[in-house]
A and B are shown apart, each in its own frame.
Chain A
Amino acid sequence: MTDSEERGGAGSAETWKRHIVRQLQNRDRNQHTKFQDLIRFYTQLLEKTSLAKGILSCSTRHTPSDNGSSISALLHQNNQLRKTTGELAYKVVEMQQQIKIKESFLDEQHARLLEEECRLAVALHAHQELQERVDRVKVENRALKLEYDTLLEQQRQEERRLREENDRGVHLVEDMIHLKQQAAVRMNSRNERRSRARAMNLTTARSKVAIDSSSSAPTSRSTSPKSEDQDDCSDRRHTRLFRSASVTSPRFLSSIKQLFDRKRRGRSVCSLEEDLMCPVGVCVSARVPARALQVLEAHEQGINAVKFSTSSDLLATGGTDRVIKLWEVRAGSLTHKGTLDGSTEGITCIEFDPTGLRVLAASYDKSALLWRRDDPIPKLTLTGHSRKVTAARFSGSLHQVVTGSADRTIRLWDLHRAACVQLLRVTSYCSDLVCSENCIVSGHYDCKIRVWDARAASCVQELPAQGKVTSLDISADHRQLLSCCRDDCLQLVDLRRWSNDRMCFRADGFKCGSDSTKAVISPDGCFLAAGSADGAVYIWNVSTGNLESHLPDKHSSSISAVSWSLSGEYVVSVDKSKWAVLWSDI
């Protein structure tokens, strides 16, 4: 077969095949087609004749050979034929009847056929309609399919993007974990270093003490701090007399410092004895700062709080970068001395305890933390507030702390038990508070300053303010209360009289930069200091009510807080862009 196909491909080779086909056709025409009908007709004819012959032979069989009785036989035959004719006629009638029946049946069939045709037409019409609908639906389906495909494509793309984002997220988390681990390692090594240094200090101190005790009899008191306490107290009382005389001699101050230093060796952070020894503050005449001694980038992020210790040689700053930094103030410059960490969010407020050994801070992480000055790990964490803590202050006694929070509560804490002992509910966000002997004064966003009785836990007075209160400060003698409000005005109220007469301090250009801008009273109560949104420090004279000084140009952003050293020598201002400036009059 394949061979023939191949051969068939060539035109000449086809000749023999065409020849065969043509010949076969010729043959069939001559031998088959010509005779086909002829033979068929012949066969039919043959059959018919044989049939006729059969009948003929039948009838001839009856023909008698005998001629004599031929007539009677013919008659008989005639009769028979008549009879058969009759029968046939009857049959014809019967047949006709049958035909009629069949015809009526046929008519019926026709009628039914017509009916069916009608129904068929209707059905066809319906079918056509349905077909059209099918087409329409198909078109719609195609459109939907197209849409679906595009959506699917989109989804695939989105999924891919999501996967990429997830990958990136995982990478970021890994990076972060890595950084955290590094930070932890750094922290551990730092802690270790510190504890080693402390141990070293301790041993050198001990040896020194040992030498002291062995060499000189008068200093033997230092070896037994308990017995020394009585003397200390007497000394303290003695110094107080001098203090009221407003002595500014540096020698005298240093003698006091020495006392403090010695006391620090005692290492009892919170004891009854300490309460007794609590310094109320050194009232010296404050000096109005005139120029910046040092401008430094103190933190990695914005600074929210700044505070001098009671001994004026230590400064604490705290900011959004979650750490508190301690700075030594010496010879008109700030030296970094240590870092207190442990807060998981930014610091809002810092306070030294009256002894200067402990640092209390309020944090965005809904807690207040207490450190020992020389230990970077918090000693206590006071948790319980449900929103950020805006202020934390030591109350009259050293083992009590008051905190104010954005959750509209003020809490009193017992440091011995490290527990909340009292809860004061306010109707408004508490932005700052200060403590006097037996009362707590809190400032709120509802333009009210509330005075609370710490023992009865009740609000004894409400003082109106002109705007949201951003900060409060109380003078060293607990007689004057300073409040800073968002209406860019500082108010000074005399707490003794509880009267409505108050002094307002304003200045051109002074603008309260935020809801937590801190203003302070100078330690001698003669001046007020506040930082403005324009980066300038403003100082007012309390007695005249006028602006005393205006120190611009050192800060580039809004000042968040200022602090005046208890010695009256220095003012430090901090701003929202991590800079701190040390001011003095020299």
Chain B
Amino acid sequence: MADDKDVLRDVWFGRIPTCFTLNQDETTEREAEPYYLLLPRVSYLTLVTDKVKKHFLKVMKPEDVGEMWFEYEGTPLKWHYPIGVLFDLHASNTVLPWTITVHFKNFPDRDLLHCPSNSVIEAHFMSSIKEADALKHKSQVINDMQKKDHKQLWMGLQNDKFDQFWAMNRKLMEYSTEDGGFRYIPFRIYQTMSDRPFIQKLFRPVSPEGNAHTLSDLLKEMYPAAIPNEGEQKRYQVVIHGIEPLLETPLQWLSEHLSHPDNFLHICIIPTPSD
């Protein structure tokens, strides 16, 4: 149990060192210094980049400032994915720190959602939680919660309060022993090279025979290519929170401990670096 709690803490306090640089095309009064920040993996870009914005606004004329957006090596970064997912998906095998380019104009409406205020992030976050609970408990737990309980979840994430968040999130992770797990595991599988944003299907944590499903079982069904055939070189890495769990890890446990605060297990499948 002590281990489990430590895992939860490590997941929550995971950080990515990031270097924000201003896009060359932006018109500035003087040269902008890069801004370095440790980004929380479980949070959202627009929620933690107030300082970045402030920093760059110093060197810009107010009339040149549009909505801020981020881009990494030509890829616009979707703020509504958790930061850890963005990093694992696009930059997991690059040299740290992660260099993100900051834009204030030419907002890519086709790729990104607008994020005018934190309430949008909150709405997105809460809807994710509700979706996850619909999968796990037919929404029973989340519907039994009061408004202030929902608020507590959001405030926990916003203010980076681990205990405050988990005091409430614990309830969302409960399940009856006779079921042996959640109804369905809320998961999303991301790939770099795909048209689809992610894979999300119904998948039970326990097989009809009563065996607990593992990560391997999930991948076999959702993404067989991720599992190396015998004697073959490993082609893909399965990354969750910047690590590669063993394939025999039980899926239920993963869902309980390695899910993001939005209660989804975000799994990134990236090609093994060739070198």
User: Do A and B come together as binding partners?
Assistant: yes
> Chain A: residues with CB nearer than 8 A to chain B?
1-5, 7-8, 15-21, 23-28, 30-32, 34-36, 38-39, 42-43, 46, 49-50
Picked from A8, A32, A42, A50, the residue with its CB within 8 Å of the CB of B14 is A32
> Chain B: residues with CB nearer than 8 A to chain A?
1, 3-4, 6-7, 10-11, 13-17, 33, 35-38, 55, 58, 96-97, 173-174, 177, 180-181, 212, 241-246, 248-250, 252-253, 256-258
CB nearest neighbor in A for B16 = A31
Asked if A19 meets B250 with Cβ closer than 8 Å, knowing A39-B36, A50-B58, the reply is no
Q: When chains A and B are docked, how far (Å) is the Cα of A20 from the Cα of B241?
A: 10
Picked from A17, A31, A46, the residue with its CB within 8 Å of the CB of B242 is A31
Whether A21 contacts B3 by the Cβ 8 Å rule is yes
Whether A21 contacts B256 by the Cβ 8 Å rule is no
Q: B14, B16, B17, B181 — which one has the most chain A CB atoms within 10 A of its CB?
A: B17
Asked if A3 meets B180 with Cβ closer than 8 Å, knowing A16-B249, A24-B241, the reply is yes
Asked if A27 meets B252 with Cβ closer than 8 Å, knowing A15-B246, A21-B7, the reply is no
Count how many pairs of residues, one from A and one from B, have CB atoms less than 8 Å apart in the complex: 101
> Which residues in B have their C-beta under 8 angstroms from that of A32?
13-15, 17, 38
Whether B10 contacts A4 by the Cβ 8 Å rule is no
> Which residues in A have their C-beta under 8 angstroms from that of B241?
24, 27
Picked from A2, A4, A36, the residue with its CB within 8 Å of the CB of B38 is A36
Asked if A4 meets B4 with Cβ closer than 8 Å, knowing A28-B10, A30-B96, A39-B38, the reply is yes
Q: When chains A and B are docked, how far (Å) is the Cα of A36 from the Cα of B246?
A: 28
Q: When chains A and B are docked, how far (Å) is the Cα of A35 from the Cα of B7?
A: 21
CB nearest neighbor in B for A33 = B15
Q: When chains A and B are docked, how far (Å) is the Cα of A30 from the Cα of B246?
A: 20
Query: What's the nearest-Cβ distance from chain B to residue A55, in Å?
Result: 15
CB nearest neighbor in A for B174 = A1
Whether A25 contacts B10 by the Cβ 8 Å rule is yes
Q: When chains A and B are docked, how far (Å) is the Cα of A20 from the Cα of B181?
A: 20
Picked from B14, B253, B258, the residue with its CB within 8 Å of the CB of A3 is B253
Whether A3 contacts B10 by the Cβ 8 Å rule is no
Q: When chains A and B are docked, how far (Å) is the Cα of A2 from the Cα of B174?
A: 10
Whether B181 contacts A27 by the Cβ 8 Å rule is no
CB nearest neighbor in A for B97 = A35
CB nearest neighbor in A for B181 = A3
> Which residues in A have their C-beta under 8 angstroms from that of B10?
21, 24-25, 28
> Which residues in A have their C-beta under 8 angstroms from that of B37?
39
> Which residues in B have their C-beta under 8 angstroms from that of A35?
15, 17, 36, 38, 96-97
Q: When chains A and B are docked, how far (Å) is the Cα of A459 from the Cα of B1?
A: 116
Q: A1, A8, A15, A34 — which one has the most chain B CB atoms within 10 A of its CB?
A: A1
Whether A20 contacts B245 by the Cβ 8 Å rule is yes
Q: B16, B181, B249 — which one has the most chain A CB atoms within 10 A of its CB?
A: B249
Asked if A16 meets B246 with Cβ closer than 8 Å, knowing A2-B177, A3-B212, A31-B17, the reply is yes
Asked if A24 meets B243 with Cβ closer than 8 Å, knowing A1-B4, A1-B256, A35-B97, the reply is yes
Query: What's the nearest-Cβ distance from chain B to residue A224, in Å?
Result: 124
Known: A32-B17, A35-B17. 16 other contacts (CB 8 A): A3-B180, A5-B1, A8-B3, A16-B245, A16-B249, A21-B6, A23-B245, A24-B10, A24-B11, A27-B243, A30-B96, A31-B14, A31-B17, A39-B17, A42-B36, A46-B33
Asked if A20 meets B16 with Cβ closer than 8 Å, knowing A2-B177, A7-B250, A36-B38, the reply is no
Whether A31 contacts B36 by the Cβ 8 Å rule is no
CB nearest neighbor in B for A32 = B15
Whether B253 contacts A7 by the Cβ 8 Å rule is yes
Q: When chains A and B are docked, how far (Å) is the Cα of A167 from the Cα of B37?
A: 94
Q: When chains A and B are docked, how far (Å) is the Cα of A155 from the Cα of B58?
A: 93
Q: When chains A and B are docked, how far (Å) is the Cα of A248 from the Cα of B238?
A: 155
Whether A27 contacts B3 by the Cβ 8 Å rule is no
Query: What's the nearest-Cβ distance from chain B to residue A467, in Å?
Result: 106
Whether B249 contacts A20 by the Cβ 8 Å rule is yes
What are 26 contact pairs spanning A and B, CB under 8 A?
A: A3-B212, A4-B257, A7-B250, A16-B245, A17-B7, A19-B246, A20-B7, A20-B258, A21-B6, A24-B7, A24-B10, A24-B11, A25-B10, A30-B96, A31-B14, A31-B17, A32-B13, A35-B38, A35-B96, A36-B38, A38-B36, A39-B36, A39-B38, A42-B36, A43-B36, A46-B55
CB nearest neighbor in A for B250 = A7
Query: What's the nearest-Cβ distance from chain A to residue B154, in Å?
Result: 24
> Which residues in B have their C-beta under 8 angstroms from that of A8?
3
Q: B13, B33, B58, B253 — which one has the most chain A CB atoms within 10 A of its CB?
A: B253
Picked from B174, B177, B243, B248, the residue with its CB within 8 Å of the CB of A23 is B243
> Which residues in A have their C-beta under 8 angstroms from that of B17?
31-32, 34-35, 38-39
Q: A7, A24, A39 — which one has the most chain B CB atoms within 10 A of its CB?
A: A24
Q: When chains A and B are docked, how far (Å) is the Cα of A38 from the Cα of B241?
A: 23
CB nearest neighbor in A for B212 = A3
Query: What's the nearest-Cβ distance from chain A to residue B94, in Å?
Result: 12
> Which residues in A have their C-beta under 8 angstroms from that of B246?
15-16, 19-20
Query: What's the nearest-Cβ distance from chain B to residue A19, in Å?
Result: 5
Query: What's the nearest-Cβ distance from chain B to residue A56, in Å?
Result: 12
> Which residues in A have their C-beta under 8 angstroms from that of B38?
32, 35-36, 39
Ranked 6 nearest A-B pairs via Cβ: A35-B17, A23-B243, A24-B10, A16-B249, A32-B15, A16-B246
Q: When chains A and B are docked, how far (Å) is the Cα of A28 from the Cα of B35?
A: 21
> Which residues in A have their C-beta under 8 angstroms from that of B250?
3-4, 7, 16
Q: When chains A and B are docked, how far (Å) is the Cα of A50 from the Cα of B246?
A: 48
Q: When chains A and B are docked, how far (Å) is the Cα of A7 from the Cα of B1?
A: 12
CB nearest neighbor in A for B240 = A20
Query: What's the nearest-Cβ distance from chain A to residue B31, in Å?
Result: 12
Asked if A31 meets B249 with Cβ closer than 8 Å, knowing A21-B7, A24-B10, the reply is no
> Which residues in A have their C-beta under 8 angstroms from that of B249?
16-17, 19-20
Whether B96 contacts A19 by the Cβ 8 Å rule is no
Q: When chains A and B are docked, how far (Å) is the Cα of A46 from the Cα of B19?
A: 13
> Which residues in A have their C-beta under 8 angstroms from that of B253?
3-4, 7, 17
> Which residues in A have their C-beta under 8 angstroms from that of B242?
27, 31
Query: What's the nearest-Cβ distance from chain B to residue A49, in Å?
Result: 8
> Which residues in A have their C-beta under 8 angstroms from that of B7?
17, 20-21, 24
Q: When chains A and B are docked, how far (Å) is the Cα of A175 from the Cα of B151?
A: 87
CB nearest neighbor in A for B244 = A23
CB nearest neighbor in B for A42 = B36
> Which residues in B have their C-beta under 8 angstroms from that of A27?
14, 241-243
Q: When chains A and B are docked, how far (Å) is the Cα of A46 from the Cα of B34?
A: 9
Picked from B13, B96, B245, B256, the residue with its CB within 8 Å of the CB of A4 is B256
> Which residues in B have their C-beta under 8 angstroms from that of A43?
36
> Which residues in A have their C-beta under 8 angstroms from that of B36?
35, 38-39, 42-43
Picked from A3, A7, A19, A49, the residue with its CB within 8 Å of the CB of B245 is A19
> Which residues in B have their C-beta under 8 angstroms from that of A18?
3
CB nearest neighbor in B for A49 = B33
Q: When chains A and B are docked, how far (Å) is the Cα of A298 from the Cα of B174?
A: 102
CB nearest neighbor in B for A5 = B1
Query: What's the nearest-Cβ distance from chain A to residue B182, in Å?
Result: 11
Whether A17 contacts B3 by the Cβ 8 Å rule is yes
CB nearest neighbor in A for B252 = A3
> Which residues in B have their C-beta under 8 angstroms from that of A20?
7, 243, 245-246, 249, 258
Q: When chains A and B are docked, how far (Å) is the Cα of A32 from the Cα of B245?
A: 19
Query: What's the nearest-Cβ distance from chain A to residue B50, in Å?
Result: 14
